[in-house]
Amino acid sequence: MIASAAAPLLRFDGVRIETSGREGSETRTLLEGLSFDVAAGEFVAVVGESGSGKTLAARSILSLLPPGVRQTAGRIELQGCDLTRLSAPAMRQVRGAQIGMVFQEPMVSLNPAMTLGRQLAEGMQLHRRLPSNEIRRQSIAMLERVRITDPFRCLKAYPHEFSGGMRQRIMLASVLLLKPKLLIADEPTTALDTLSQREVLELMVELAHDNGTAVLLITHDLGLVARYTERAIVLEKGRLMESGYTDQILANPQNPYTQRLVASLPRGSADLVPPPDSAPVVLEVRKACIEYPGRPGFWRRAVPHQVVHGVDLDVRAGEIVAIVGASGSGKSTLGRAILGLKPVAAGTIRFDGVELAAMTAVQRKQFRRAAQLVFQDPYSSLDPRRRVRDIVAATLRHVDDIDAAERRSRVQSILEEVGLPSFADRYPHQMSGGQRQRVAIARAVVSRPRLVVADEPVSALDVTIQQQILTLFQTLQAQYGFACLFITHDLAVVRQIATRVVVMSGGIVVEEGPVTAVFGEPAHKYTRELLEATPTLDVAPLPR
Amino acid sequence: MAGGGNLARALKTLAVCGVLMLGFASARAPAAVDETTVARAPLLRARLNSDIVSTNPGTRRDENTDGVLLHIVEGLVASREDGSVGPMLAGRWSVSADGRVYTFALRPEVVFHNGAPLTSAEVIWSLRRYLKPETRWRCLEVFGPNGIARIVSMSAPDPHTVVITLDRAAPMFLTTLARADCGGTGILHPASVGSDGSWIAPIGTGPFRLGEWRHNEFVQLNRFAHYASLPGPRDGNTGGKHALVDQLRFLIIPDSSAARAALVRGSLDIIDNLAPSELLGIRGRTDLQFQSVPILDCYSLLIQTRDPLLQDVRVRTAIALTIDAVGLAKAITRGTASANNSPIPVASPFHHSVEAQLRSVNLPKARQLLQASGYDGRAIQLVTSRRDPQMFDVAVVIQAMAAQAGINLQIDTVDWPAHLSRYTVGNYQLMVQSFSARLDPTLSFGTFIGDKRQEPRKVWDTLRSRELLDQTLQTADPAARQAVFDTLTRDFLEEVPAVVLYNSSRLSVVRSEVVGHQNWMSAQPRLWGVSLR
Amino acid sequence: MLGYICKRLLLTLPTLLLVSVAVFLIIRLIPGDPALVLLGEGADAASIAGLRADLGLDRPLPVQFVSWFEHALKGDLGRSIVSGEPVGELILQHFGLTAAVVLVAVTLATLIAAAAGLIAAWRRNSVIDLAVVGAATVVLAVPSFWLGLVLLLLFGLKLGWLPFVGYVPFSESAAQAALFLVLPVVTLTITESGVLTRMMRASSIDVLQLDYVTHARAKGLSERAVLTRHVFPNAFAPTLTLVGLTLGHLLGGIAVIETVFTLPGLGRLMVDSVLARDYPVIQGCLLFTAVVYVVVNLLVDLCYPIFDPRVTAR
Amino acid sequence: MRGRLRHAGLNAILGISLVGALLLTIGVGLVWMPYDPIAIDLAHPLGSPALNHWFGTDEFGRDVLSRSMLGARISVLIALATVVVAITLGTTLGLLAGYLRGWTDRLLMMGTDTVLAFPGILLALALIAVLGSSNGSIILALSTAYTPSVVRVVRSTVLSIREREFIEASRSAGDSALGTILRHVLPNVLPPVVVLATSLFGWAMLSESALSFLGVGVPPPAPTWGNMLSASRPYMDIAGWLSIVPGLCIAGTLLGINLLGDALRDWLDPRRET
């Protein structure tokens, strides 16, 4: 615990949070004896993975714990005043005015049924009691500061008319309009792509500095911690693991958990060897154009909307190629088309030299077995009504040359290989996200495919789990030697896993080449922006 | 055309025996309240169980329609309380010796609702209109080729005399004119129809004029201030007819419980056709007056003798032997109806010892007959409908009674139009049917007897029964007719083409403030001479 | 907007045509016809045939349909066989009453449901919540006509507070008409509020868990402001859809309620017309209710963006 | 938060007990009833509840308890059959419409719109008039009226499920459309359908009683709670037990079914995991 010289703005003192069960039923401790300080104007990170209690800690400051969860011990002081003892009306005076909060999901943290103008004005009316024209003036000024292009229109618009990044900026505006002393930012950029993430965080830092607002940044992303905060506290399973200055913690973690956390950040591995030039080309994409059907009008036919424009791509046997790009760049659509799940509007996709569109039924069956997909979201990609055994065996269902016994033993052995030997009879909801993703990988690999398309397979996972899954993936790839098209937005992951990278933006390939070459000397502007926006531990904190 | 001939002959004979129906009804109504002794009440509310179907008398009609319109229009003659014919618009009349020429003397004081005096011109205009096929007069057939007589000519020697000449003697002529279902052959002012002959509204001579007809809500009649009443007390549809209330409103309340509750609450003054199921709800109430008058209708179980199973008289008899008509009538009508196994209603003067015999329940006999017939317990369809709750209840009770002898009846409840349609074409095995009042036993038997090929609705198709029915038309002697009716009744009970169950009573219940209400054997509302205390 | 409305209405034409044909066929499949009903039990074959010819029922079905449809397109739904009144007028008269009862009852039920559902969700698992859920569930389990009869018995007969029978039209006496409509409205309100309350409670519970509600609280808003400004509009949208469906169905006639309270409404008109085989009235009524259903759904869709701006009327 | 009442568990217990009581009644009624529910006793109509007739007798002297027991069987049978027909048909059509989209969808939606545009009670009235009043035609009429709502629920669920990635996984494993529907879509559609089925069961029971009330319900003498209730109408104020007994039976059963449905919904809700 590092004592702050000045009187702290916020002080946690032995805070315990428990589930409040009925009499007799067991209570679970979610946060145990948490103590830390935040000084005025300071940037502090609360780091932890899911289940670490970091969000509960943040919410307990404003007494906004979800139903069924209670704070049972400890004090939370704001400038020496114990917030936990405040009456409900007194607490409402603190909320918004003194402490602001920004939430993780920009899609659900603004009221969809209210104009943004009214939502911005709400807090001002309540806490500042300003005349409406003054509120309007300040709102517009603030929206301009967060770089909303047409603030006048924005006041009349509804949240759904804006993208996630813009919403998060508007959210920031609405909170900082009240000039709170403390801003709690709960994973504010997790749901955004790399470029938007950077934009939002830079704005937050800028505005907080200007107003002298302290920031409590709740995150799991060590890169963000390194880049934006001065001090950090690390939580695991409701307990404080380590706290101190950010650069010290990251450079020289003392606690074993922190060490593990830092170690699990993806790093470029030197031992990746590209396949020999003689390796046969498994996948050959030529001038592929892919479109989505538009909405049919009443009198006119649907006008298709093209998302991929003439992409060329080759993947050799045993090669791992990464496709990077922001959301909407067409990378996932391309992946779907390569597996024949979406037709191409123009151009050709060949697998082992045979064009997908021209395959015979037999060839198609073989293709289905030889090309597999791993999805991003392990919650949606596994049928919740099937057992793990059936999910994995599904891939083998249409394979004729193996019998039921063989099928069972294959499933069992692949489950052992992915580290889930005893999970065959479980349902997806009985497993964690990482375990589900293992099942998804097992499902893809069980048929001994020659090509696996992995669509953001680790982006929904915690850092340590992410690392385990990547390692598993690499192990399996080494063992079975399948070619892989790895779709991701995370450049660090690319460095760790791929030998060649394809950068996509706006439906076209902007740059392509060996990872070291492309990342070392990016030729295209977009690649450069992407690289710049990606926080890494190497970047020093911003100067204060 | 055996059927049509039957009807025609039946009607002809009725003329002969019309006189026999004297003294037929149980009681003469008490004298109408003297108009001067009672202050006229503003509004009297009576219940109709369904809306009237038109305001055009004798055309589109049902019993409710007839009843309401007889308050508005009047014919040359009208039925008395005892079923005989009395004067109405014609103060008196004479018949020529050959029975073909009728001369009516109109009452000069009568005026139409529009103020026009009644003259022979309107009478002849009205009758001519009824005789046009496009008017669709209910009784047009009676004056057609198969009817009692044709009208050869009509003339008006002076404004208050009408002479009608028939092609043959027809003692039933006046009775027909007075029939309620013929609209009482009500005399209308020509302004009742438009220039193209289309119906507008009745402009008659009755004690009430049509006020407002709001479909499915109410029919309101207003007192006709210049009504010229006959002298004397109220007597059926004739006699003194005094409108003792300013407004008469027939509320249309299909639901009998709602009607009863409305009466108890005081939202209604008169229910003159109470459902027996409501009797318990009014029992012991001192603020209500209850009355029951036997009528000439008939509830029966029809049997399709052409059905492969039911053509066996043993099966039919077995069914009949399970039915306890007394218990059934008592349970369904709360003891207000009279059990009867003969087609001749209990209230008929021809209902004597033979007709009064009731079949007693004999389950062992029934089982024995069934066994002999080889009945194997297969389901027999019993068609009924819910329009009249009693028809539905009859089916339920018969089913339960038949089950005791192992007869498996399946009730097929259909709606009223489907019921009628199946009745008309004979499409049933068993059917519960109620028949409205038939004035003469020949007509009563006539509803059952007939040639199924010509008229599929007839149930009793034997040569002997048809011949016997003809005999009842050929004699006017009551004793001779009685003998034939007795034979027919015995045959009917023997052959079981149908099982007659009971004749019901018309029940009325009025609030104690209501003065002068009296039902009579005609199944129609009658609210002149009724006032509120 | 106008274009959208026109388009929606145009799209419903096939449905309406299907409805018309289906109605026409179904009701003519039912045994028994209006001529039989009009003439009754003692009628002879000749008069029945004559009346059928008068009514045009002796023509082949397609001819009858085309002739009816042509007139219907011109807005002429024909005349009732039973009463001779123009079907259009007949329907509008009866619809007025049904619409009055239904609109008042559904509005009341919606208000009750919105308040009760919101509060129950807000105080989830409390005694209030238990009471609201319990009441809503019990209400769901009670047949409407039974409830109506019990209310009628209690307030109409035993206590005598409200009139019993013999509906008086608004044109005659608005006050009396309103009194007559109290019990039907109350019955319908109670019956319909059950489902709506449960719906409102469920969607409020969902909304209460969303971040923007926490955000609103984090701004320092009072619970009242959070509920009325942030929870209610969002939670109400699914309930509104249900209200629309309910309205669409109820406006098609509340035959049972109308029978219990002897109200001359559209439902009663339809049932009576079926029982009398009054073909033009049945056809007209069903076409009318189909149009009402379509229009109500359209109106609800047009209202939806008020509560959920994400949905725009396209 | 004070006074937290975990009534979810209580609800399930109450629901199961009510439905259990119903099943028990039906079960006992199969082997024993105090009296023959069809046999009339014209000497003792409208008898008040007494030791020999616990729930009294009706207007034909039939034992109300025995009729309620048989009524339970018939009412439940009709409601159940309606639910089975509507759910089976509705699920099949909904799966087709939601999964195949395109013209199949448009045609099916037009069909359901057409049925929905009919006032339900009138549709039933007309169908029963055409087919004659029998248990079969009541089941058919009710399920015709309810199928469109099942189609809609299933279709919208399918539309959301078919966007989930495991459907793509199934396709990429080489499953045919039918295979995917049966293996992955159907099982995931079932939870909302099961919950809907419990609601339908209640509606069907209410509608059957409403049809009886309008005079086209289950043909007598077979008792259902609905036709017992409607037959009791004239005697509501003089023989209250006639309407109270079937009224309570309907209300109790529906309450049980609704509570059970709620419990099922909670139990099948994937969110209960978190």
* pLDDT number for residue C163: 65
pLDDT digits (tens, 9 = 90+) for A332-388: 888 888 888 888 888 899 988 888 888 888 888 888 888 888 887 777 888 888 888
Distance CA B133, CA B135 (A): 5
ipTM: 0.76
Distance CA C92, CA C288 (A): 9
The reply to whether B419 touches chain C by the CB within 8 Å rule is yes
pLDDT at residue A541 greater than cutoff 50: no
CA dihedral A390, A393, A394, A399 (to 10 degrees): -150
* pLDDT number for residue A168: 87
The band of A145, judged by pLDDT with boundaries at 50, 70 and 90, is confident
* pLDDT number for residue A69: 85
Nearest to C275 among B45, B253, B415 (CB): B415
Task: Please give the structure tokens belonging to residue D245.
Answer: 């007994």
How would you list the strands of the sheet with A10-19, edge to edge?
A29-38, A10-19, A69-78, A81-82
Distance CA B509, CA B271 (A): 5
Distance CA C262, CA D233 (A): 14
Interchain pair A122, C221: CB under 8 A: yes
* pLDDT number for residue B30: 39
Distance CA B223, CA B244 (A): 8
Q: Which residues of B touch D237 (CB under 8 A)?
A: 261, 281
pLDDT averaged over chain B?
Answer: 85
pLDDT at residue D158 greater than cutoff 70: yes
Give a three-class secondary structure readout of C141-184: CCCHHHHHHHHHHHHHHHCCCCCCCCCCCCCCCHHHHHHHHHHH
* pLDDT number for residue A492: 82
Q: Which candidate in B256, B278, B384, B414 is best for mutational testing of the D interface (most D CBs within 10 A)?
A: B414
Q: What is the mean pLDDT of residues A69-84?
A: 88
* pLDDT number for residue A301: 60
Q: Which residues of C touch D210 (CB under 8 A)?
A: 143-145, 256
Percent of chain B with pLDDT over 70: 91
Do chains A and D touch, with touching meaning 3 or more CB–CB pairs less than 8 Å apart? Answer: yes
Residue with tokens 């969902």: C206
Interchain pair B400, D40: CB under 8 A: yes
Interchain pair A375, D165: CB under 8 A: yes
How many Å lie between the alpha carbon of C49 and the closest alpha carbon of chain D? 22
pLDDT digits (tens, 9 = 90+) for B447-468: 899 888 888 888 999 999 988 9
pLDDT at residue D217 greater than cutoff 50: yes
Q: What is the mean pLDDT of residues A53-78?
A: 87
Helix (H, G, I), strand (E, B) or coil at D107: helix
Chains in touch with C (≥3 Cβ pairs < 8 A): A, B, D
Q: Which residues of A touch C7 (CB under 8 A)?
A: 298
The band of C312, judged by pLDDT with boundaries at 50, 70 and 90, is low
Query: Highest mean pLDDT: which of A115-129, B98-112, B165-179?
Result: B98-112
Nearest to D130 among C29, C149, C157 (CB): C29
pLDDT digits (tens, 9 = 90+) for A273-331: 777 777 888 899 999 888 877 655 555 566 778 888 888 998 998 889 999 988 778 88
How many Å lie between the alpha carbon of B399 and the closest alpha carbon of chain D? 8
* pLDDT number for residue A8: 85
CA dihedral D231, D235, D236, D240 (to 10 degrees): -100
The band of B433, judged by pLDDT with boundaries at 50, 70 and 90, is very high
The reply to whether B262 touches chain C by the CB within 8 Å rule is yes
Nearest to C218 among A67, A96, A110 (CB): A96
Of A67-81, B383-397, B416-430, D156-170, which range is least confident?
Answer: D156-170
The reply to whether D252 touches chain B by the CB within 8 Å rule is no
Percent of chain C with pLDDT over 90: 9
For residue D9, the chain C residue with the least C-alpha distance is: C125
Distance CA A248, CA A264 (A): 17
The reply to whether A48 touches chain C by the CB within 8 Å rule is no
**At how many degrees (to 10) do helices D64-100 and D186-213 cross?**
140
pLDDT at residue D8 greater than cutoff 70: no
CA dihedral B256, B262, B263, B264 (to 10 degrees): 110
Q: Which residues of C touch D130 (CB under 8 A)?
A: 26, 29-30
What are the residues whose beta carbons fall under 8 Å from the beta carbon of D16, sequence distance 6 or more?
Answer: D256, D260, D263
Q: Which residues of A touch C230 (CB under 8 A)?
A: 111, 114
pLDDT averaged over chain C?
Answer: 82
Check residue A435 and report its DSSP letter.
H
* pLDDT number for residue B413: 84
What are the residues whose beta carbons fall under 8 Å from the beta carbon of D252, sequence distance 6 or more?
Answer: C141, D18, D21, D22
pLDDT digits (tens, 9 = 90+) for B145-162: 767 788 999 999 999 999
* pLDDT number for residue B428: 92
Percent of chain D with pLDDT over 90: 5
pLDDT digits (tens, 9 = 90+) for A212-243: 899 999 988 888 888 889 999 999 888 888 88
Nearest to D117 among C15, C130, C157 (CB): C15
The band of B89, judged by pLDDT with boundaries at 50, 70 and 90, is very high
Q: What is the mean pLDDT of residues A416-437?
A: 86
Interchain pair D40, B395: CB under 8 A: no
Helix (H, G, I), strand (E, B) or coil at C50: helix
Nearest to D3 among C126, C259, C270 (CB): C126
* pLDDT number for residue B363: 92
Task: List Cβ<8 Å contacts ≥24 apart for B52-57.
Answer: B52/B213, B52/B219, B52/B250, B53/C38, B53/C82, B53/C83, B54/B199, B54/C83, B54/C84, B55/B199, B55/B201, B55/B202, B55/B210, B55/B213, B56/B199, B56/B202, B57/B183, B57/B184, B57/B186, B57/B188, B57/B202, B57/B204
The band of B138, judged by pLDDT with boundaries at 50, 70 and 90, is confident
Beta bridge partners of C162: none
The band of B23, judged by pLDDT with boundaries at 50, 70 and 90, is very low
> For residue D221, is the peptide bond before it cis, meaning its omega torsion is within 30 degrees of 0?
yes
Of A489-498, C226-235, D98-107, D213-222, which range is least confident?
Answer: D213-222
* pLDDT number for residue D274: 35
Interchain pair A95, C234: CB under 8 A: no
Q: Which residues of C touch A101 (CB under 8 A)?
A: 214-215, 218
Helix, strand counts (H, E) of chain A = 19, 20
pLDDT at residue C91 greater than cutoff 50: yes
The reply to whether C281 touches chain D by the CB within 8 Å rule is no
Task: Please give the structure tokens belonging to residue B108.
Answer: 């000069």
pLDDT at residue B26 greater than cutoff 70: no
Nearest to A109 among C215, C307, C309 (CB): C215
More confident residue, D1 or B240: B240
Outline where DSSP puts E strands in B260-418: 270-271, 288-294, 298-303, 338-339, 380-385, 409-414
pLDDT digits (tens, 9 = 90+) for C140-189: 878 888 888 888 778 876 777 776 555 656 666 677 777 788 888 999 99
Interchain pair D130, C157: CB under 8 A: no
The reply to whether C163 touches chain B by the CB within 8 Å rule is yes
The band of A99, judged by pLDDT with boundaries at 50, 70 and 90, is very high
Distance CA A342, CA A288 (A): 11
pLDDT digits (tens, 9 = 90+) for B375-407: 888 899 999 988 788 898 899 899 989 988 889
* pLDDT number for residue D261: 81
What are the residues whose beta carbons fall under 8 Å from the beta carbon of A56, sequence distance 6 or more?
Answer: A17, A30, A31, A65, A69
Distance CA D59, CA D46 (A): 5
Q: What is the mean pLDDT of residues C77-95?
A: 85
A147: left (phi over 0), alpha (psi -120 to 50) or beta: left
Distance CA B77, CA B88 (A): 5
Interchain pair D173, A386: CB under 8 A: no
Nearest to B403 among D38, D215, D236 (CB): D38
Q: What is the mean pLDDT of residues B277-291?
A: 83
pLDDT at residue B8 greater than cutoff 50: no
The band of A537, judged by pLDDT with boundaries at 50, 70 and 90, is low
pLDDT averaged over chain A?
Answer: 84
Is residue D160 exposed (0-12), middle (13-18) or buried (19+ Cβ within 10 Å)? exposed
* pLDDT number for residue C137: 83
More confident residue, A181 or B138: A181
What are the φ/ψ torsions at residue A312 (nearest 5 degrees)?
-110, 140
pLDDT digits (tens, 9 = 90+) for C14-50: 778 887 888 788 888 888 888 887 777 766 777 788 7
Distance CA C80, CA C77 (A): 9
E strand or H helix that includes residue A210: helix A194-211
Q: What is the mean pLDDT of residues B163-179?
A: 85
